[in-house]
Amino acid sequence: MKALSQKRRHPLAAVALLVLGLMLTGGLYAVVTTVNQAKADSSTFTSEQVQQGEKLFVANCATCHGLGASGTGNGPSLAGVGAAAVSFQVGTGRMPLQMQGPQAREKPVQFNPDQTTELAAYVATLGDGPALPEAQYLDGKGDAAVGGELFRVNCAMCHNAAAAGGALTRGKFAPALAGVSNQHMYEAMVTGPQNMPVFNDANITPEGKRDIITFLNTIEKQGSPGGAALGSLGPVSEGLFLWTAVLGVIIGFTVWLTSRTS
């Protein structure tokens, strides 16, 4: 008992306890992270798709991202970004990047769907990351009311309550969501492209993402039943339009009245 008490008072006892605590915390974090990644990486690709994707990558992407996608001064490493990130960036034409700027802009795609899948297959082998979404979450048959609430809470501050997009800082912007495919909407939520935060399954469940997609499909189909959308900016654009129109009428009436008196 006395020997144990003396060991507890050893000067290195506190250091040993600290190291043990750090090792335990790190081990638990590694286990939790591995479980989440394994859940995300549910897509499977053939070896032929991976091989073809590597060839396409070396020919078209390695200049910026480096051989093996390890990254260079012109492009980040792609290890761990997942197949969903490739599908979104390449499938919307944002990659390959046309020019350096505040953010990549959408442009005509340079790869067909099969080639995009092959590139995604190759990048998926570089590390765990968000996989391609399952078809059941892309059918647009969720709850639009729930999706509208989720969208207004999580997305409207950048994309506008009507999903019309909006300006951000330093030349960046949140794009309008009309015309975006359901798959690319889902992939954007799980990968967080450009300035968008990542909404993993802990933030918004796959069912919640399905509801958001359904809401966006619904408002796109409805259009603007109240008349001209005016950018869907609400009372700001409506008030500006009304003020400009009324002011124009007043000026026109004044000009007409003075011409009549002269």
Q: From CA 84, how far away is CA 94, in angstroms rounded?
A: 14
Is 159 annotated in a binding site? The answer is: yes
Is 162 annotated in a binding site? The answer is: no
Q: From CA 161, how far away is CA 125, in angstroms rounded?
A: 38
The residues with which 167 forms a beta bridge, in sequence order, are: 173
Is 158 annotated in a binding site? The answer is: yes
Q: From CA 152, how far away is CA 144, in angstroms rounded?
A: 12
Cβ neighbours for 181, distance < 8 A, ≥ 6 positions apart: none
Is 64 annotated in a binding site? The answer is: yes
CB atoms within 10 A of CB 5: 8
The residues with which 173 forms a beta bridge, in sequence order, are: 167
Is 155 annotated in a binding site? The answer is: yes
Q: Is residue 218 helix, strand or coil?
A: helix
Is 65 annotated in a binding site? The answer is: yes
**HEC profile of 83-103:** HHHHHHHHHCCCCCCCCCCCC
Q: Which two tokens stand for residue 28?
A: 């638990």
Q: Would you list which residues are annotated within the binding site? A: 61, 64-65, 155, 158-159
Residue numbering of the annotated binding site for heme c = 61, 64-65, 155, 158-159
